[in-house]
Amino acid sequence: MTRIVIHFLIPLNLIISLLLVAGGVIQNLKPAEKVQLLEPIAVSADGGIIENAVIDTENGTVTVDGAVVPDAEIITEEFGCYRKSIEIW
């Protein structure tokens, strides 16, 4: 029984732990931290970042070249380990 633990289970545990660390598995038990972005980002309904957008955070509106973008979402916060996947064009 001791040989199985020493020669098989401990090396297997080390290999699996290295694979998990290389894959980016969370390595602490703290909850995700919420941080403020330096400037807000405007995102369209399909998830793309809206370039050259004028963002009014007080009214919650996004305008591009003077026209209001109806389905735009304003993002002002980001979570530490998890965030919405946004495709940058």
What are the sequence ranges of the domains in the chain?
A: 2-79
The pLDDT of residue 60 is above 50: yes
The pair phi, psi for residue 36, each rounded to 5°, is: -85, 135
**Are 53 and 73 within 8 A, CB to CB?**
no
The pLDDT of residue 53 is above 80: yes
Q: What is the pTM of this model?
A: 0.44
Distance (Å, whole) CA 81 – CA 63: 30
The pLDDT of residue 11 is above 50: yes
